[in-house]
Structure 1
């Protein structure tokens, strides 16, 4: 084992074990083994090995294999923290694991290029998916973790957060992405699964023993299959010892009578490069597993500098991971979530300047009319508040349809509120069927299907929005053969092509637009004819997914403007994902009858509850329904959903000045 006695007090080697009593019971403050680094003595009462303690200032950064090296509780013992005690019982990676029998085998797999399957997209070779066995294994582990959650787990912050994060990150592994993005998501899924497992086992197996100060157990060896912790607190030593959690006790080395049975070298980083023995980049854990601590090239930035016991260290590590995984902000990361601009825009568009109501008596007056109604009758042609009638369009959900129709008499010709972009992050579904030109509709479907994976991945990289006209021009740039710059049509198409290239350049992908015209189109692994409209059933599926994604993006963006909860974005994303099946950028086409599309009102209740919980924290006037918790004796599910849908549609119109995207049913 590549360990060393460097820095230990060589003059005291023999004296360190002078007080050994072989065969006698070992107490928590004794040392089954021990060693010192300068003036610090390290002992363990329940392990036969010692890890080198973190005594110096930490410079925490992400490593090549997407972990934090010695600062990572998944791969090295850390100082014990009472606020996160479960980190001490994280499982160690197993050296001889049978993947067919151990569901946790996937939790330590380091993905390589062989696990990445590129898509067949000829004009963008960077996108791909995880190899199916790996994807299935992490999905199975996630399912197992969720199934083992104890009753009432929602009351524990860690269990509530970990479980929601795990479900969301595993779902996001279904979205095609560049290899680097997929591998980071996969490693985060592993991390969350291991920490969730540790929290479940801490509560079920360890907490009671840790807190049971009355029981004095005889010597019990530490559980060598878990990570353990460092501490300089004798009370913590006793509690960890009693719980059979490996403990490494730090105290001053004063040559005082301390019982140490054996002096052992420290487990520490070593070099696997014979030409450079000072390059410490590997560690062999006490069970024989070797972990690579090598830096990434180029190195990730240092996210924390300070002493190892500072709890901010773990917080900064988590925040850095989350910042890489987080959805982009349309408002910019430096802008407050509940911005003054959005609040001003919302209240300024009203015909009356109403403040937030906090009582049911005032709630009935809380709704506002954002625009003065047009004196003309309701315009039915190209009225975005009225669903288009077409055999290609999925059927409406009545409560959501009526919410939009309620606003159909407002003047749609007015410009958007100042400082607000009312565009769409994805092309609006209605655009595909209101064109009136079959050739144009064919081009829209064709180019959407060609660019679909790129544009959906784009949701994790940028929140730039475009108008219907911009989307139409970009997706019909190849309609016809007119591309000469001296003609009006050719100039417009060349401009659209240039605009499309600029949009692709806003992503980290290398998209070769010049190869787009020759690319085939597929839908759910079926190849379609590029020169014909899809069948009615296929078109409905395509438009349903597009409409659902736009609804999720619109609700998320509205929440970003109106959220007054003060929650961090990670917690807010968990709350948002409760409003649908999947994530905001992933729609499972095998579950099209779930979420708000569920026919059964009781089947929609959990999503209605999630939307109610989300809206309760919005700023501005609210209906009475949102001034109290969700009613427990509710029988009128349809009525509650209808009122929330109306509030969503009105709020979106007040902020963005256009019709909100709403959910539809496919069947």
Structure 2
């Protein structure tokens, strides 16, 4: 699966073409400046990780596991110090979690057993805080998996995309600018929350349907980008936006294109992978 290209399933939220085009346009003809061997780490599982299996029954299993674990995983983000999550997890760790491999299991001495034991130790405090003391039911029996609720699944996947996007923007700004300003960065979003967003935000902020609605959010992000030092050229539209008060539809589109392309290219250069970008319900 190419993470720089849109992934389509009936239960996936709507792709925002501007962000999808920017992600697809990232120049991967050479390794990123951070190196090609960095582990791919995420604050939450990316939506396509759950939606990627071709077998519908397997996808339902992953969605069901995630829905059962969601509160504990959110708690894990919310009770840390400041704005930093306790630990970013690899794609493989998130795959194990949504497969229900959250207690020590597997062949003695195997890598799979070591991974599951490590995950159990890592997640146990959040499980205990959410009164999930008995984990013997994981992985869930296939007979216990409910039918797919497409609308609810879209909401959960949108939420995953949005949480990843918000945390990633804060991390990208910190690394690209060398500044510690997470609270200021939050003002770019439809709300300052990093978790627990209302689902109506899926059509606000960067996901707004009208250019006038999106403009303040792109201007906000462009303002932070002017402090970035990254090994890719910053589009002139970002610098020219400073202090500008008159905007036509074409000039707004030009700014949006510049910001999204600079964002996705910068993320690739500094983190070595595709950014998780906003989606829309």
Shift of residue 648, structure 1, vs aligned partner: 0.3
Whole-Å Cα distance in 2 between the matches of residues 466 and 584 of structure 1?
A: 17
Paired position in structure 1 for 2:66:
448
Tell which has more relative contact order, 1 or 2 (C-alpha 8 A, sep 6+): 2
Alpha-carbon distance change, 408 to 449 in structure 1, aligned in 2, over 3 angstroms: farther
More helix by share: 2
CA shift for structure 1 position 402: 0.4
CA contact (8 A) 1:385 1:408 kept: no
| Structure 2 counterpart of 1:642, from 257, 261, 267 | 257
1:588 to 2:198 alignment: yes
Say whether 1:577 aligns with 2:186.
yes
Q: Is 2:99 the partner of 1:476?
A: yes
Kindly indicate whether residue 273 of structure 2 is the aligned counterpart of residue 658 of structure 1: yes
SS state at 1:459 partner: helix
Q: Deviations over 1:399-436 (max 9, x none)?
A: 10100111276479x99628955310101101111122
Runs of 5+ in structure 1 lacking a partner? 1-381, 522-528
CA RMSD across the alignment: 3.2
Which residue among 537, 544, 558 is the counterpart of 2:151? 537
Query: Is 1:398 matched up with 2:17?
Result: yes
State the Cα distance separating 1:390 from its structure 2 match.
1.2
8 Å CA contact 1:442, 1:533 repeated in 2: yes
Residue 633 (str. 1) matches residue 239 (str. 2): no
Tell me: CA distance 1:420–1:558, structure 2 relative to 1, closer, same or farther (3 Å).
farther
Equivalence for 1:363? none
Answer yes or no: is the 8 Å Cα contact 1:575–1:610 preserved in 2.
Answer: no
Show CA shifts across 1:560-604 (max 9, x none). 10124x5xx4xx233211221221223111332111111111111
Which structure has the larger Rg? 1
For normalisation by structure 1, the TM-score amounts to 0.36
Q: Could you tell me the TM-score, scaled by structure 2's length?
A: 0.82
Q: Verify: 1:501 aligned to 2:90, yes or no.
A: no
Query: How far off is 1:485 after superposition?
Result: 2.5
Tell me which residue corresponds to 1:624.
236
1:599 aligns with 2:209: yes
CA distance, structure 1, for counterparts of residue 144 and residue 77 of structure 2: 25
Tell me, in whole angstroms, the C-alpha distance in 1 between the residues paired with 2:57 and 2:215. Answer: 42
Alignment match of 2:222 (pick from 587, 612, 618):
612
Partner SS, residue 579 of structure 1? coil
Report if aligned partners of 1:474, 1:499 keep a CA contact under 8 Å in 2: no
Match of 1:466 in 2: 89
Q: 538-547 or 629-638, which moves further after superposition?
A: 629-638
**Whole-Å Cα distance in 1 between the matches of residues 87 and 160 of structure 2?**
17
Give secondary structure in 2 for the equivalent of 1:617.
coil
- Give the match for residue 140 of structure 1: none
* CA gap 1:539/1:587 in 2 versus in 1, 3 angstroms: same
State whether structure 2 residue 51 is matched by structure 1 residue 433: yes
The structural deviation recorded for 1:663 is 0.4
Q: CA deviation at 1:660?
A: 0.4
- The answer to whether the 8 Å contact 1:383/1:408 transfers is no
Q: Deviations over 1:186-229 (max 9, x none)?
A: xxxxxxxxxxxxxxxxxxxxxxxxxxxxxxxxxxxxxxxxxxxx
Aligned to 2:42: 424
1:385 and 1:405 in contact (8 A); partners too: yes
Query: Larger % of strand: which?
Result: 1
Q: Judging changes above 3 Å, is the alpha-carbon distance between structure 1 residues 445 and 455 closer, same or farther for their aligned structure 2 residues?
A: same
